[in-house]
Homo-oligomer: A and B are copies of this chain.
Amino acid sequence: MTHSETFPVTENTRLRRLPRRGSYDHAAVHAILDEALVAHVGFIGSAGQPVVLPTAFARRGDVVILHGSVVGRLMKTLAEGVPLCLTVTLLDGLVLAKSAFHHSMNYRSVTVFGHARLVTGANEKEAALRALTERLTPGRWDALRPVTAKEVAATTVLELPLLEAVAKTRSGPPVDDAEDLDWPVFAGVVPLSMVAGDAIPA
């Protein structure tokens, strides 16, 4: 896959407002997915109720891997191949303008539309679980107590092919109205980032 490849612009992914914030480049989508730690997955539950649940995930090539207990609602529903939407958001800063109207947030988000498919086969499932572990803690998988067949069987693993996706980004300073620039209040960006503290041994 090269950086020049792009996802198609579809009715789902076309940005109606502020299209300049959007990108359909595979590389842009992948980079955001690879930095985010949590995805929010939306599906239609019973009685037509939309449901949004947070979950860990990992991208591997052209698919997003999801996993969970075989008895959980999220995995059971998604395994049926229902339409889903997976969104990840990296919050980069609070954008403080001279007027409330121009306040904003700096962020990078990706929204993926599609259907998940069940990963079957113990080897394929184990490879996916390995990817989930390794993306967060590279090199750790081989040091862990090996997974058992029973554990693999108790875990549902799903793949969401990346076929329809869009990245959205807002960055940089506030964009104030020209006549407000001298208003006597701070304007600028408060950077936000997720940081890891010192590990706490169990």
Q: Which residues of A contact B (CB under 8 A)?
A: 11-12, 16-17, 37-38, 40-54, 56, 69, 71-73, 83-87, 89, 91, 94, 96-101, 103, 105, 107, 109, 111, 113, 129-130, 133, 136-137, 140-141, 143-145, 147-148, 151, 154-155, 173-174, 176, 180, 183-202
Question: Is the Cβ of B194 less than 8 Å from the Cβ of A192?
Answer: yes
Q: Across the interface, do A185 and B107 meet the contact criterion of CB distance under 8 Å?
A: no
Number of copies: 2
Known: A173-B200, A185-B143. A52 touches B52 (CB 8 A): yes
List of B residues within 8 angstroms of A151 by Cβ: 99-101
Known: A40-B40, A129-B100. Is A50-B194 also a contact (CB below 8 A)? Answer: no
In the complex the two chains form, is A38's CB within 8 Å of B191's CB? no
The reply to whether A99 and B147 contact each other, CB–CB distance below 8 Å, is yes
B residues within 8 A CB of A154? 101
A192 touches B196 (CB 8 A): yes
Contact A85 B42 (CB under 8 A): yes
